[in-house]
Structure 1
Amino acid sequence: MSDLHGGSLDQNPPNADRHITEGGSDWAWAVFAVMLLSTLGMVGWSYTRPRGTRFFHNIATIILAVSTISYFSMASDLGATPVLAEFSRGNTGTRQIWFVRYIQWFINFPLLLVILLFSTGLSLSDILTTAFFAWIVVVCGLCGALVASSYKWGYFVFGVLALFYIWGSLLGHGPRTTFNAGQGVRTGYVRGSGFVAFITLLYPIAWGCSEGGNVISPTGEMIWYGILDLILGPVFLYYFVFGLRNVDYGAFGFHSGKYTDGPYGGVAGPNMTGAGPGTGGVVAGGHGAARV
């Protein structure tokens, strides 16, 4: 085990032979700072929007807040467990496996798909099914990471197959639906879904080099995943939400859960059918009843 000095690794000593270094902890603290500032920025941005038009901002806030807590844990060298590596590198036997990262993905990955697919005309059942397959990807990744034998690669295959289903929804079904919010939203969705599909392709590669094959060090793993999380977190979310800033929420059919608020904070928007007390607006494009 390498020499430890001050900071997180001194307060919370690593529990595995192959673990992150002080540099890895410092990188995680940097990612935590970006996530925290991004969360606060998204919260402030959402309050500049009228009530009933904060759906995408609120989902983005949840994703960023969860990432903030996750990286606080990892930077503090908490939320990891030692697992015997299938392929030993040097004299190391166990490797740090960050289960807190999988908790982050378990919450965030389905929400990321929801924020994308709700801009399309996919039915609510299709969106929820796609989100379910996101859970399969994450759970299979965690199970595989915790398995010491070669059976871990069986979970890896199941996770990749679930990713194929997700890519099919993002790149196949999504673009072919009716975009009630207009051609501009369709164009933005096609770009965004292609970007998300490409970045999610890099996650299983990172898994195979880190938790799976034990090729790169836990510090290298922290840097690799951190870059991907920053791209799919603050970078993508701010880009996607900013692209919807001028879109009429009435076209989506979103409606505040509080009747007196109305879809625009009490002002009826175009393309929005009024609803009586106790009812929510009907989501356009086949989503069914939804509240924001």
Structure 2
Amino acid sequence: MYLDHNIVEEVLRKTTTIPTPTPLPTVVPTVPEVHYETLHDTGKRTLWVVCVLMGLSSVAFYAMAMRVPVQKRLFHILTAFITTFAFLSYFAMATGDGIGYHQYAVTETKQHIVTHIFNRQVFWARYVDWSLTTPLLLIDLSLLAGLNGASILVAVVADLIMVLTGLFAAFGHGDGQKWGWYAWACIAYLVIVYQIAQNGTRAVINKDQKTKRFFSLLAGFTLLLWTIYPIVWGVADGARIVGVDAEIVAYAVLDILAKPVFGFWLLTTHDNMSRTSPTIEGFWSHGVSSEGTLRVGDDGD
């Protein structure tokens, strides 16, 4: 049987449906929002206020040092150095130096898409300050108690570890790294507490009653303040619950109490106890003696 190909084409055209092409879905990439967590007017004013207070305290401590014999100036010099370093640190931060940024991302849990990128200011000048001033504070307390050299060295090294691991935690990537460094800082702080509270209390037993009571009050005051520092870090740089301005204000209050207030309390009480306070002779007071030294040009004739 012969089939007309024209008829076949017409039948196929009527019975066959040609699908209409649909456009491909357009994929729109998610662009994360970038945020900057920085200080504002409150934070700037606070930095300048503390800078001025640290500077005035330093001048006052140096003046107090000049009023006592050189043999009794050790506490004055150490305490003046503490506020001097703090003054330089706050001057740096107030003028915009000693500040870095730590970047971290916030992701959508289900799709693991980065939705927000935050850049938070980290005041690394503050950690430089702490690495210099807190060992001097510990030396003040240790000398007041009569702590032995080995315990002082352990306390100072633990203090440096505490400050440096705190700095590493502030710039840590990921929660594991950040809180891991924070844990090491807390362990180092416990070593400091043991040296001052335990060994310091044992050492000061040999002192007079007034010195024992004064050391207990001053050491308790200092350790209480130092315990608040990691709490502030935890809610600021750690969990980022509070903003940069609130962080600056909190540290400013603690620094004023831990340095100028500590210093005035130590020095005024020490000066009132001058009859019983120790004196330092030898090189500290008189320098290198000229007796028995070789003089250039003497030929022995």
Taking structure 1 as the reference length, what is the TM-score of the superposition? 0.79
Alignment of 1:106 with 2:125, yes or no, is: no
Query: How far apart are residue 51 of structure 1 and its match?
Result: 1.4
Matched position secondary structure for 1:52: helix
Q: Number of residue pairs matched?
A: 250
Q: Which residue of 1 aligns with 2:245?
A: 219
Measured after TM superposition, the shift of residue 169 of structure 1 is 1.4
Q: Distance in 2 between matches of 1:60 and 1:87?
A: 44
* Deviation of 1:185 (Å): 1.0
Match of 1:64 among 79, 83, 93: 83
TM-score, normalised to structure 2, is 0.77
Q: 1:249 to 1:145 in 2, by over 3 A?
A: farther
Whichever residue aligns with residue 121 of structure 2, its letter is: Q
Evaluate the alpha carbon distance shift between residue 249 and residue 200 of structure 1 in structure 2; reply closer, same or farther with a 3 A threshold: same
1:259 deviation in Å?
5.9
Are residue 135 (structure 1) and residue 160 (structure 2) matched? Answer: yes
Does residue 168 of the first structure (1) align with residue 188 of the second (2)? Answer: no
1:10 maps to: none
Deviation (angstroms), 1:121: 2.5
Say whether the 8 Å CA contact 2:106–2:117 is kept in structure 1.
no
Normalized per residue, the structure richer in helix is: 2
Answer yes or no: is the 8 Å Cα contact 2:50–2:256 preserved in 1.
yes
Deviation at 1:49, TM superposition (A): 0.9
Is the counterpart of residue 242 in structure 1 residue 268 in structure 2? yes
Q: Aligned pair in 2 of structure 1 residues 249, 62: CA closer, same or farther (>3 Å)?
A: farther
Distance 1:41 1:135, change over 3 A: same
4+ aligned runs moved over 6 Å, structure 1: 275-278
Larger Rg, first or second structure (1 or 2):
2
Can you list the C-alpha shifts for 1:189-216, whole angstroms capped at 9, x where unaligned? Answer: 0011111111000000011111111111
Q: Quote the offset at 1:188 in angstroms.
A: 0.3
Pair 1:123–1:20, CA change in 2 (3 A):
same
* Deviations 1:240-283, CA, capped at 9 Å, x for gaps: 12111133477535225256479xxxxxxxxxxxx9969xxxxx
Cα distance between partner residues in 2 of 1:39 and 1:20: 26
Task: Name the counterpart of 1:34.
Answer: 53
SS at the partner of 1:148? coil
Show CA shifts across 1:24-83 (max 9, x none).
101110111111110111111111111111000000010000000111111112211111
1:154 matched to 2:170? The reply is no
Gaps of 5+ in 2: 1-34, 108-114, 293-301
- Is structure 2 residue 76 aligned with structure 1 residue 47? no
CA distance in 2, matches of 1:277, 1:87: 71
Q: 1:81 matched to which residue of 2?
A: 100
Q: Distance in 2 between matches of 1:92 and 1:29?
A: 30
Please provide the CA RMSD for this pair: 2.4
The superposition leaves residues 83-111 of structure 1 with CA deviations (integer Å, 9 ceiling, x where unpaired) of 113669x9561100011000000001111
- Could you tell me whether the CA contact under 8 Å between 2:155 and 2:192 is conserved in 1? yes
What one-letter code is carried by the residue in structure 1 that aligns with 2:203? T
Contact 1:85 1:214 in 2 (8 A): no
Residue 271 of structure 2 aligns to a residue whose secondary structure is: coil
Instruction: Give the match for residue 148 of structure 2.
Output: 123
Match of 2:14 in 1: none
AA paired with 2:103? Answer: L
Which of 223, 239, 245 lines up with 1:197 in the alignment? Answer: 223
Distance verdict in 2 for CA 1:261–1:49, change over 3 Å: farther
Matched-pair contact (CA < 8 Å) for 2:270–2:277: no
Tell me how far apart the structure 1 counterparts of residues 52 and 106 of structure 2 sit (CA, whole Å): 34
